[in-house]
Amino acid sequence: MKFFKRPAFIVSTIVLVLALSGYFYFWRDEDSKPEYIVVERGNIIQEVSVTGKVNPLKSADLAFEKSGKIVSVFAQVGTFVYAGDILVREDSSELATQLLKAQADLAAKKVDLDKSQVVLVNYYLGIVDVLNDAHIKTDDAVRKQAGSMFTDAESDTPRLNFSSTNSQAITDSQNGRLALRTELSDWRQELSAIGVASSNDDLFTALIKSKTRLSTAGAFLANVADALEKATGITQSTLDSYKASITTARTNVNTALTNISDRNQNINSQKATTASEEAAIKSYEASIQNIEAQLAKTALRSPIAGVVTKQDAKIGEIASAGMVLVSVISATQFEVEANIPEIDIAKIKIGNPAKITLDAYGSDVVLEAKVTAIDPAETVIEGVSTYKTTLQFNKKDERIKSGMTGDVKILSSGRENVIVIPQRAVVSKNGDKIVRIIVNDEIKEVKVATGLRGSDGNIEITEGVSEGDKVIVFLKEQ
């Protein structure tokens, strides 16, 4: 008991109490001080991180459209093939025979068409002779055979040199003779302008116009014949001679008219024959194209350059229509598919750069890529709407294999030399975003406007704080 009453013990106890009191006082004060950072400018990067899977950029599963017997197999699993290479072939002997027959039929039909075209050309070329003959016969009928029955036949007032009780026939005959003077002259000029070098259309037009002129001449001769039937004032022998001449004239004109009509009919008929043979040739050509298309389908060709990953075809077996026999993937070109949650998809656009690390090689191997496609339709995965996003590697890399998985970081946006602070420094209050800053050892709340949220936990401040401000990041509540 005496020990506790010693002065030294009492002093030591007082010092210890004071020390503990001071320690707890200052510790409490220190613990209550806010944590803050001094605002600086920096760079901020907004990334979207997802997992993805490597797929070949191009792939093809090949099957025959029709069943058939396999006769040849040209590639096995692991074989490198080029676009267009034949991988498997079905029996095509029956189709080959059909093709030979169709080609022979086409050749024969082309010969028939050539003959028909020659005949048609000759029909057109013969128009000139037919028209010249028609003009000669008509000119002879009007000027020679009927000419002796007229006075001043080539004048403006031709007159019949006999009377007739059929006054209308007299008038029509004289008017007809006057009209034929001009008609025959114009006809001769038209015929002199055509020849074997004229187009088919020009020759055919001349043929039709000549037919009309022959009809005019025939009507004139018929009127003269009617006038002769009621003729007066001439001897019987003269009347008989006139009638014989008119009969000869009408026969010649009718012959010429028949020749033109026959030529017209022959041309139309031959044109129809030629058109029919041309249509038949098109039908044969279509048949050949159809057979060739079927023949092409008896060979499975690789649509891409790549490596065969599946080959189930065996010579002698019957391949079923639509059954996949061969699969090919591109050997060096790959893409990555990732499903982006709907909360992040708005941040991404085609062309965004990305960094990919494959699980097989770890985080030390970083591959660069870019977004090339975003599926507009959602894919629901475990109740969450996602959007399939495709990325392509920027460079060829032999280490990349189909089926590998890895982490994908898509740089959706970024800014340099902007005000950045930790995201935890921004709090919401009454619908506003605020930060607390220290001004002259006092804490003040200020409203801020934010920009990008960085993947590193920082956030861009566009309004409200300045470089050098002290922004509180942690404040212990009292």
CA 265 to chain centre: 46
pLDDT tens digits, 423-466: 888 988 888 898 888 888 888 888 899 888 877 788 889 888 88
- Is the pLDDT assigned to residue 24 strictly greater than 60? no
Q: How far apart are CA 216 and CA 266, in angstroms?
A: 23
Q: So what's the pLDDT on residue 4?
A: 45
Is the torsion defined by CA of 407, 408, 414, 416 positive or negative?
Answer: positive
Domain boundary among 250, 283, 316: 283
Domain that holds residue 157: 117-283
- In angstroms, the CA 124 to CA 267 distance is 7
User: Of 297, 293, 291, 290, which Cα lies nearest the Cα of 64?
Assistant: 297
pLDDT at res. 44: 86
Q: Determine the residue type at 52.
A: G
User: Tens digit of pLDDT for each residue in 247-291?
Assistant: 999 999 999 999 999 999 999 999 999 999 999 999 999 999 999
Whether residue 257 sits in one domain with residue 142: yes
Highest mean pLDDT among 36-50, 182-196, 412-426: 182-196
Residues near 414 by beta carbon (within 8 Å), at least 6 away in sequence: 43, 44, 45, 46, 452
User: Same domain for 320 and 271?
Assistant: no
Ranges of H-type helices in 297-358: 342-345
Whether residue 262 lies inside any domain: the answer is yes
Q: What is the pLDDT of residue 274?
A: 95
The answer to the question of residue 263 being in a domain is yes
pLDDT at residue 16, rounded to an integer: 54
Domain final residue pick, 268, 295, 328: 328
Angle at 128 between CA 258 and CA 220, to 5 degrees: 45
Residue 23 lies in a domain: no
Based on the domain organization, do 215 and 312 belong to the same domain? no
- Helix, strand, coil content of the chain in percent (nearest 5): 45, 30, 25
Residue 199 and residue 263 in one domain = yes
Give residue 32's pLDDT.
61
What is the rounded distance in angstroms from the CA atom of residue 229 to the CA atom of residue 236? 12
Report which listed range, 48-62, 219-233, 421-435, is most confident: 219-233
User: What is d(CA 338, CA 245) in angstroms, rounded to the nearest whole number?
Assistant: 104
Give the per-residue pLDDT at 159. Answer: 96
| 50 in a structural domain | no
For residue 292, how many other CB atoms are within 10 A of its CB? 14
C-alpha to C-alpha distance for 391 and 370, rounded to whole angstroms: 5
Residues 132 and 159 grouped into a single domain = yes
pLDDT tens digits, 65-79: 999 999 999 999 999
40 and 65 together in one domain: no
**pLDDT grade for 25, boundaries at 50, 70 and 90:** very low
| 374 strand-pairing partners | 389
Q: Is residue 20 part of a domain?
A: no
Q: Indicate if 163 and 268 belong to the same structural domain.
A: yes
Are 199 and 159 contained in the same domain? yes
At residue 153, the pLDDT reads 92
Residue 429 lies in a domain: yes
Looking at the fold, whether 313 and 438 belong to one and the same domain comes out as: no
- CATH number for the domain that contains residue 432: 2.40.420.20
Residues 143, 64 within the same domain: no
Q: What percent of the chain has pLDDT over 90?
A: 64
Picking from 468, 423, 408, 470, the residue whose alpha carbon sits closest to that of residue 442 is 470
The type of residue at 109 is K
367 DSSP β-pair partners: 356
Q: How many domains is the chain partitioned into structurally?
A: 3
- Regarding whether 158 and 271 lie in a shared domain, the answer is yes
| Buried residues in 20-53 as b, exposed as e (16+ CB within 10 A) | eeeeeeeeeeeeeeeebeebeebebbbbbebebe
Q: 125 in a domain, yes or no?
A: yes
Q: What is the C-alpha radius of gyration for the chain, rounded to an integer number of angstroms?
A: 54
125 and 234 co-located in one domain: yes
19: in domain: no
Q: The pTM is what?
A: 0.55
161-205: pLDDT as tens digits: 999 999 999 999 999 999 999 999 999 999 999 988 899 999 999
Mean of pLDDT values over 84-89: 95
